[in-house]
Amino acid sequence: MKNTHYRFLALVTIVLFASLQIKAQDDLIGLVGEDKPKKELVKNAFKSTRVINGHSMEFLLPGTLDFRILHRFGQLDQGYKNFFGLDQASMRLGFDYGISNHLMLGVGRSTYKKELDGYIKFAPIRQSTGSKSFPVTIAAVAGMTMNTSDWSDPTIQNYYTSRLAYYFQTIIGRKFSEGISVQITPTMVHNNLVATSTMPNDVFSVGFGGRVKLSRRLAFTWDYFYLVTGKEKDVNHDPLSIGIDIETGGHVFQLHFSNSTGMNERAFLTETTNNWGKGEIRFGFNLSRVFQIKKNKKVD
């Protein structure tokens, strides 16, 4: 009986010791799990969903509406007769809406060729930190434009589809630090109808954009698109825009200089006829005002 009693006490001691050891291991694992950094999206690579002309890697928060006014004056080299371009202007009004952290869409209307445009932007991968982080944002944009101006020759048969154009692009960008963000944007524009037989229906380009933070509320931005195809000598040129972003609370105010007149992808990629080298530059501004339409219970 005495041996049995000792054996029982020994068994209980072993079980208790094992239980305490397992619990200690579980607590340790729990502490390690708590210390494991959570995945967080990298934001504010750009202060706007557009660099200047082109889309940026940035997305609106879910339930957020962005009312945008893009304004471009005439050429500065026209001198005092046109008040250095201020007597002329073209503009685009647009509304962008954030559906999720990875999806947004927008519509707009331009005075240039009275064009309507719409797009959808989706990022399957966004730059993030912490667990399962990724070093860059990869986003895809698909858009369509429609020319609503009168037919140039109404006496012939014109087709509705001739008014349409499409564009597709991929944005690959990275925020390197609080002060520097860079992106590259391969783009294809398809015009259902072109002006001459020598112009291609499909135009391919590669865009480059960036932002350098100058102060808490100021940043230097630029975007440039190199036309791989579709560039005709002395007819159209690569669009280049440089500017300053000014952040004022809910507003983002962009002052910039550009050689393009149009402010949607079809227009500035296929119909930029001005040349920076000849001083054919236009001053303009973009104004963005953000409204929170829908409250979010949880933001990833």
The predicted-structure confidence for 192-216, as pLDDT tens digits, reads as follows: 998 888 889 999 999 999 999 999 8
Verify that 151 and 90 share a domain, yes or no. yes
Distance separating alpha carbons of residues 120 and 127, to the nearest angstrom: 19
Q: Are 242 and 222 in contact (CB under 8 A)?
A: yes
What is the structure's pLDDT at 75? 85
Verify that 283 and 157 share a domain, yes or no. yes
Burial of 191 (0-12, 13-18, 19+ CB in 10 A): buried
Task: List, in sequence order, every beta strand (DSSP E) within the chain.
Answer: 40-41, 64-75, 89-100, 103-110, 115-125, 128-129, 137-147, 164-175, 180-191, 202-213, 218-227, 240-248, 251-258, 282-292
**Nearest residue to 108 via CA among 80, 146, 78:** 146
Verify that 114 and 9 share a domain, yes or no. no
Verify that 9 and 76 share a domain, yes or no. no
Task: Report pLDDT digits (tens) over 124-174.
Answer: 999 999 888 899 999 999 999 999 998 888 888 889 999 999 999 999 999
Q: Is residue 298 part of a domain?
A: no
Q: Is residue 47 part of a domain?
A: yes
Residue 208 carries which side chain, given as an amino acid letter?
F
Q: Is residue 219 part of a domain?
A: yes
Q: From residue 176, how far is each of 35, 42, 128, 173, 182 by CA, in Å?
A: 25, 10, 12, 9, 8
Verify that 227 and 108 share a domain, yes or no. yes
For residue 142, the surrounding DSSP H or E stretch is strand 137-147
Verify that 21 and 117 share a domain, yes or no. no
Task: Report pLDDT digits (tens) over 21-66.
Answer: 444 454 444 445 555 678 899 989 999 999 999 999 999 999 999 9
Verify that 60 and 30 share a domain, yes or no. no
Q: Is residue 155 part of a domain?
A: yes
Task: Report pLDDT digits (tens) over 62-113.
Answer: 999 999 999 999 888 777 777 766 778 899 999 999 999 999 999 999 999 9
What is the structure's pLDDT at 36? 65
Tell me the CATH number at 252.
Answer: 2.40.160.40
Q: Are 222 and 239 in contact (CB under 8 A)?
A: no
Verify that 143 and 287 share a domain, yes or no. yes
Verify that 9 and 67 share a domain, yes or no. no
pTM score over 0.85: no
Q: Is residue 297 part of a domain?
A: no
Tell me the residue range of the domain where 167 lies.
43-292
Domain count, the chain: 2
DSSP-derived secondary structure letter, 38: P
DSSP-derived secondary structure letter, 55: B
Q: Is residue 213 part of a domain?
A: yes
Verify that 14 and 157 share a domain, yes or no. no
Q: Is residue 262 part of a domain?
A: yes
Q: Is residue 171 part of a domain?
A: yes
Whole-number percent of the chain with pLDDT over 70? 85
Verify that 2 and 63 share a domain, yes or no. no
281: left (phi over 0), alpha (psi -120 to 50) or beta: beta
Verify that 112 and 3 share a domain, yes or no. no
